[in-house]
Structure formats: structure tokens, C-alpha cells
Structure 1
Amino acid sequence: MTVLHHEHPTHTHAHGPDCGHAAVTHDDHVDYAHDGHLHREHSGHWDECEKSGHVLHDGHDHQHGPECGHQAVSHGNHVDYVHDGHRHAAHDGHWDDH
């Protein structure tokens, strides 16, 4: 699994703790949910932070939803749930690791 490095060249908004977008802790950095995708600061610019490929999250018995207690983040045409440093998304009867 790799993370795509796609610079967001027209992104002039500076994300931060008070910018109003959902902050998602991810490994050693923070992603910000903005307009249905995630942005990450990188070398003086903002990247689209997306993994490539389909990554099944095996053994995930917890069912996410509005009352599950995990942060919900709009992502494209669905909702991801932040759980243990990962974003989980429902997909064909299982959970994917975004």
C-alpha cells in the first residue's frame, strides 16, 4: 500500500487547529478534511493524502455509525470513521482501511 503524492497547487487556505476543518491524526502528521478530501502539509505545500488501492481492514467487528463515538469525516461520496489512527469506510459488507 502506498500513499499517493498529489500536490494541491491551488490550495491557498492554511489549515491548523482553528481553521474549522476536521483534523485527523495520521501517523506522524495531521490531515485536514476539506471539500471531501484530505489535505496534508508537506514541504511548504498541501498534498491530497490518499492511499492507493483497496485495503481491507480484516477482523474489524465494530460497526461504525452516527452513534459509535468515532470521529466521522466526509470523504468523497461516503463517510470515513477515524478509529485507532486509521480511517475506516464501509464497502461491500466489510470495512476498508483508508
Structure 2
Amino acid sequence: MTALHQEHASHTHTHGPDCGHTQVPHGDHVDYAHDGHLHREHAGHWDECEPGGHTAHEGHEHQHGEDCGHARVLHGDHVDYLHDGHRHAAHDGHWDDH
């Protein structure tokens, strides 16, 4: 799955370990959850870090919810759950891997 390159043009806040936003490990970098979006530093600016496709997390038996023990991240109109370095989102009876 590839991520879309969408620059967050008016983002003046600098994210980091102490900025107060949830850190979301994502492959070789860290995204930051900010106002329902995920931001990634890239070439001197911040990108909206969004998946470019649909990837179902096959064989994911665990059901996420408020008391499942995984961090919740507001993402647009839904909640993702951080699980083993991935973001999981409910979709059509399965979990997507973002």
C-alpha cells in the first residue's frame, strides 16, 4: 500500500515527542495524530499521511473497542486503533490495516 503525498500547507506546529499529540509508529517514521489527521514530516514540511489504497488485515480475530487495551486515534470520521505498529480501522465487517 502506498501513501498519498498531500502537503499540509498551513501547518506551523512542529511535532515531536513532547508536543502533546499521539505518536503513531508507521514503518520507518512516526506520524502524529492532530485534529483527526495524521501528520508526517517530509522535506521540511508536514504531509497528511493517508493510505493510498485498501488493505484488509487478514486473520485479525481481535475486536477493537473502548476497553480493548489499544490506543485510540481519532481519524476523520472514525477511530483507528494502534496495534503492533499498525492502525486498524473497522470496514465492512473486517479490520483495515493502515
TM-score under structure 2 length normalisation: 0.95
* 1:32 corresponding residue in structure 2: 32
* 2:93 corresponding residue in structure 1: 93
1:23-63 CA-to-partner distances (Å, cap 9, x unmatched) read 11111111000111100011111001011121111100001
| 2:18 alignment partner, SS class | coil
Matches within 5 A, 1:1-98: 1-98=1-98
Structure 1 stretches of at least 4 aligned residues deviating more than 4 Å after TM superposition: none
| 2:14 alignment partner, SS class | coil
TM-score under structure 1 length normalisation: 0.95
Equivalent pairs counted in the alignment come to 98
User: Gapped runs of 5+ residues in structure 2?
Assistant: none
1:4-35 CA-to-partner distances (Å, cap 9, x unmatched) read 11111110000111111111111111100011
